[in-house]
Chains A and B, each alone.
Chain A
Amino acid sequence: MKQMNWNELPHAGSILKAGNANEYKTGSWRSLKPRWIEENCIQCLFCWIYCPDSAVSVKDEKMTGFDYDHCKGCGVCAMECPGKKGNKAIVMEEEGK
């Protein structure tokens, strides 16, 4: 984001662009990366409701993967994923491998 001059700053430290933190990418924080294994997914959406970083993508009421621009790789989604017959639909893998 371009730095503002003092006379361009909104009054009283207001931020007028709601949700602009979305422009800030926290994906580089990751050392582990979640991988979705679609065939084990039962679409329970637990990963989506528990993700602290709004980084589980959903479309038409279904989980569709991850927003790697913001996912910090915490592994909460993988931990809570029930998967199918004991096989997780999310696994954490080392970043960069």
Chain B
Amino acid sequence: MSTPTQENPLTLKALTHKPVHLTGGHRMCSGCGAPTIVRQVLMAIDEPVVIANATGCLEVSTCLFPYTAWQVPWMHSAFENAAATASGIETMYRSLRKQGKLKKEMKFIAFGGDGGTYDIGFQALSGAMERGHQLLYICYDNGAYMNTGIQRSSATPFGADTTTQPVGSKIQGKTQRRKDLTRIMAAHNVAYAAQASPHNWKDLMTKVRKALATNGPAYMGVVSPCNRGWRSQTNDSILLSRLAVETCYWPLYEVQDGKWTINYDPKDRKKPITEWLKPQGRFKHLFAPGNEALLARFQELVDQDWESLKKLQEMSKS
């Protein structure tokens, strides 16, 4: 049974004593947001942990045979089935525990990109959550299939330029709004669902601990800046993850026992979405003359989602 054994304080000083579970020498692009997320996740955990990883930038670039950057047991099987792989590992663990062959308490995490989570791995994820495995699925969401060259996914934001919905004379990037997977996971009535961002390491790590302390399946979506696909700079991953939250494009919130809690509400300091869009070349065309309506539409979509999230929080109070 799960116990919240993680009682080490979440201060950076204390965390420096933790072993480095993701080493340097991996081949993620310079300034990629994903390894920062993984480092924070692994540092939050005190128990032994086993990782399943879907195909994608993180998997490909942290494990180039015969090298691995992972200092914890880690398994890759395919693109679409990280959740199924983690389910199998967790089931074997429960069986070994029942047989008395394993005494240690262990944790199980699956990492997938947005393509591997929102799209091709969606069925495996939904199944794992519904069966109630004691695992945490974490999607590092960079909003496209980055590893194969910036193809659109159902997580790609409205208006973004991708290689499969490129900006041309007729179409100005993605014409659809993005799928809201965190809410879909909450609708699975999982033990814990949350959104996090690496700029707020404390919130992210607190959520990992909460997720692993529950007695059931948990899901976290983490915004993961990708300077290659977002057409931004190598030094702005943390800045852009912060702006994603401050503009309410990527609200920090959690859903537990039917209760929705917003962890950061900018109130009257909510920034206009243009502050997040402007530094990203994938949205450059939205600022061209004639595309004012698309920019307004983007803001409208953000506002709609933010207002409905606040209602969910309000309705689930008491």
**Which residues of A pack against B, CB within 8 Å?**
1, 4, 13, 15, 17-26, 29-30, 44-46, 48-55, 58, 61, 67, 69-76, 78-80, 92
Contacts and interface: CB of A to CB of B under 8 A. Distances in A.
B23 A22 contact: yes
B124 to A, nearest CB: 21
10 contacts: A4-B66, A17-B68, A21-B23, A21-B62, A30-B30, A44-B12, A49-B12, A52-B39, A75-B234, A76-B36
A49 B27 contact: no
SS of A interface (majority): loop
B71 A18 contact: yes
Identify whether the interface residues of B are mostly helix, strand, loop, or mixed. loop
Given A21-B62, A54-B20, A73 B70 contact: no
Interface string B225-265: 00000000111111100000000000000000000000000
A44 to B, nearest CB: 7
A20 B69 CA distance: 6
Contacts of B67: 1, 15, 20-21, 23-24
Contacts of A23: 25, 67
Interface of B: 12-13, 15-17, 20, 22-28, 30-36, 39-40, 62-72, 198, 201, 233-239
A61 B24 contact: no
A52 B68 contact: no
Nearest to A69: B24
A49 B67 CA distance: 24
Nearest to B61: A21
Given A18-B70, A49-B40, A74 B235 contact: yes
B16 A21 contact: no
Contact of B198 (A48, A50, A72): A50
B248 to A, nearest CB: 22
A13 B30 contact: no
Given A19-B71, A54-B35, 12 more contacts: A1-B66, A15-B67, A22-B25, A24-B27, A30-B30, A49-B15, A49-B40, A50-B36, A50-B198, A50-B201, A73-B234, A76-B36
B68 A18 contact: yes
A49 B43 CA distance: 10
A85 to B, nearest CB: 21
Contacts of B27: 24, 26
The 3 A-B residue pairs whose C-beta atoms are closest, nearest first, are A70-B24, A74-B31, A75-B235
A19 B40 contact: no
A8 to B, nearest CB: 10
Contact of A29 (B17, B30, B66): B30
A58 B24 contact: no
A25 B105 CA distance: 35
Contacts of B198: 50
B14 to A, nearest CB: 8
Nearest to B239: A79
